[in-house]
Amino acid sequence: MVDLTTTYLGLKLKNPLVASPSPLSEKVENIKRLEEAGISAVVMYSLFEEQITHESLELDYFLNQGTETFAESLTYFPDIGKYTLAPDKYVERLEKTRKAVSIPVIGSLNGVSTGGWIKYARKIQEAGADALELNLYYLPVDVDMSSSLIEDTYLRLVEDVKSAIKLPLAVKLAPFFTALPNFANRLVSAGADGIVLFNRFYQPDMDLENLEVVPNLVLSNSDELRLPLRWIAILYGKVKADLALTTGVHTAEDVLKAMMAGANVAMTTSAILKNGLKVVPAILKGMEEWMVAHEYESVKQMHGSMSQGSITDPAAFERANYMKVLNSFNPEYIP
């Protein structure tokens, strides 16, 4: 028997396969099924800043009916859609989930600005969450907004959320940072106990017939693992935080690579949405078989073994590798 246990944010997990936020965690019944399939922890779908602010603006609007400012500001808010629940219902759902399963349940807040809405961090804690994930997702389109201003805003938010709760806090990031190791370290100083790499952006498409920009959700595949894999390998040992890999985890090999790069856990959504729950036991079984065949006794044994600090050629994760890859494609003949 091999030992698949790992730790993440101070939680002891039976294996490294965690369900990342998605509609899969919308229903308590589905979270129970994720647990039965072998998932070791679940991060609930997110409660969005817009949802909370929207609700309080709506309340203000009804209290101040007729004032144009509120009516105007309401129109700026995006259509939240039916996927998300009202904030209090979210907390209620989390509390029910906590009681229904024995695996750790991690709450998720998704926002960028500090302010009244972060009181929900405390509500999530009171509902019994085992930890909180804060998804920082902002798309800067303003030419006057500098990267340092955005980073400082994020750091202030992390500090504010952390000071509101006693729970361990993980921060989920997008891959688009100019100097990720520096920012990751500043996140840890601001209070992050874990870093989740990476948030997957859903790029809008264009409908040429109707000349419209349309949302188009394409699920990931294993090729997309490489981006978070590289950065986890680089960050491992450099930041004093647990690392979670999200994006592109579809197979046992993907989870094994994540562990060797230095992740404490590998999170998955697309694999389950594409293949159903059966993919969970298949991944876990595949990991055990691989570990037996390659004489590994535990996941802990492989943790960080292929991180940048552990391999003989650290440049493999850096720019030097870029030229090698390009040179590997040198066709004599173009068909």
Q: Which residues are at the interface with ligand FMN (CB under 6 A)? A: 20-23, 45-46, 108, 110, 135, 172, 199-200, 219-220, 246-249, 268-271
CB of 301 to ligand FMN, least distance (A): 25
CB of 22 to ligand FMN, least distance (A): 4
Residue 266 · residue 7 · CB < 8 Å: no
Residue 261 · residue 253 · CB < 8 Å: no
H/E run at residue 213: strand 212-214
Q: Which C-beta is closer to ligand FMN: that of 19 or that of 306?
A: 19
Q: Which C-beta is closer to ligand FMN: that of 30 or that of 46?
A: 46
Q: Which C-beta is closer to ligand FMN: that of 30 or that of 296?
A: 30
Compute the distance between CA of residue 161 and CA of residue 328 in angstroms, rounded to an integer: 47
CB of 146 to ligand FMN, least distance (A): 25
* DSSP letters spanning 14-73: SSSEEEPSSGGGSSHHHHHHHHHHT--EEEPPPEEHHHHHHHHHHHHHHHTTT-HHHHHH
**CA distance to 103, 172, 189, 251, 285, per residue, from 38 (Å):** 10, 23, 34, 14, 10
CB of 1 to ligand FMN, least distance (A): 27
CB of 46 to ligand FMN, least distance (A): 3
Burial class (CB in 10 A: 0-12, 13-18, 19+), 227: middle
Burial class (CB in 10 A: 0-12, 13-18, 19+), 67: exposed
H/E run at residue 162: helix 147-164
Q: Which C-beta is closer to ligand FMN: that of 4 or that of 173?
A: 173
Q: Which C-beta is closer to ligand FMN: that of 171 or that of 233?
A: 171
CB of 19 to ligand FMN, least distance (A): 8
Residue 19 · residue 202 · CB < 8 Å: no
Q: Which C-beta is closer to ligand FMN: that of 157 or that of 296?
A: 157
